[in-house]
């Protein structure tokens, strides 16, 4: 009887114990933190302004933390003629967009010409999905609802970020693939 009890205990140990201690694999996600420079030749589906201005540049600064993802974009449309034939650059800095990485929506206040936005983010496997919902009222009173969805992916070597961007609005849909190189 004692041998039977020992044998039963061993069988239970080998059958039950592994199921209790089976390690759960931790999900690790790519880290997009840093400065990224727009790579126009690798990008596709660009709108007129981005594809036709020779000096169009876009730089993206990303701060990624455990629960938040903050993006700051800088645009330059190239040279322009301000006054008396002097040449200058037309740079823009967009507002910081901070996303909660748990999928919850966050309200971004309106600033300057940019309307209020509701933003959210969540991981979809190794890709990070960023969603922006905003409404813009034109001078004639027409309200245009805009939905922008971005799927961020990091190359295996960490040197390139590819953003699959879709913008839906009352003006139609624009699909782009934006490639950025880590600075």
Query: pLDDT band at 24, cuts 50/70/90?
Result: very low
**72-76, Cβ contacts within 8 angstroms, sequence gap of 24 or more:** 72/96, 72/97
Query: How confident is the model at residue 55, as a pLDDT?
Result: 74
What CATH number has the domain bearing residue 102?
2.40.128.20
Q: Would 15 be classed as within a structural domain?
A: no
Query: pLDDT band at 178, cuts 50/70/90?
Result: very high
pLDDT at residue 84 above 90? no
Query: pLDDT band at 79, cuts 50/70/90?
Result: low
**For the whole model, what pTM was predicted?**
0.77
pLDDT tens digits for range 137-171: 888 988 889 999 999 999 999 999 999 999 998 78
Q: Would 95 be classed as within a structural domain?
A: yes
C-beta atoms surrounding 86 within 10 Å:
8
The better pLDDT of the pair 20, 52 is held by 52
pLDDT at residue 69 above 90? yes
Domain count, the chain: 1
Spatial distance between the Cα atoms of 103 and 120, rounded to a whole number of angstroms: 5
Query: pLDDT band at 118, cuts 50/70/90?
Result: very high
The better pLDDT of the pair 81, 155 is held by 155
Query: How confident is the model at residue 4, as a pLDDT?
Result: 39
Domain span at 116: 30-182
Q: Would 1 be classed as within a structural domain?
A: no
Residue with tokens 């040279």: 79
The better pLDDT of the pair 27, 168 is held by 168
Q: Would 8 be classed as within a structural domain?
A: no
Percentage, residues of the chain above pLDDT 70? 75
The better pLDDT of the pair 82, 30 is held by 30
Q: Would 151 be classed as within a structural domain?
A: yes
Average pLDDT over residues 110-115: 76
């Amino acid at each position: 009887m004692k041998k039977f009890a020992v044998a039963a205990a061993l069988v239970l140990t080998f059958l039950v114990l592994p199921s209790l201690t089976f390690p759960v694999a931790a999900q690790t996600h790519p880290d997009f933190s840093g400065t990224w420079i727009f790579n126009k030749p690798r990008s596709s589906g660009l709108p007129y302004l981005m594809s036709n201005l020779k000096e169009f540049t876009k730089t993206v600064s990303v701060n990624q933390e455990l629960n938040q993802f903050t993006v700051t974009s800088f645009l330059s449309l190239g040279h322009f003629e301000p006054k008396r034939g002097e040449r200058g650059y037309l740079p823009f800095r967009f507002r910081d967009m901070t996303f909660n990485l748990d999928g919850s929506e966050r309200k971004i206040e309106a600033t300057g010409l940019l309307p209020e936005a509701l933003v959210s983010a969540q991981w979809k496997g190794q890709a990070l999905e960023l969603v922006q919902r905003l409404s813009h009222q034109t001078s004639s009173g027409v309200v245009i609802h805009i939905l922008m969805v971005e799927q961020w992916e990091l190359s295996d070597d960490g040197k390139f970020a590819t953003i699959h961007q879709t913008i839906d609005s009352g003006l139609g849909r624009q699909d782009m693939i934006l490639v950025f190189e880590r600075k």
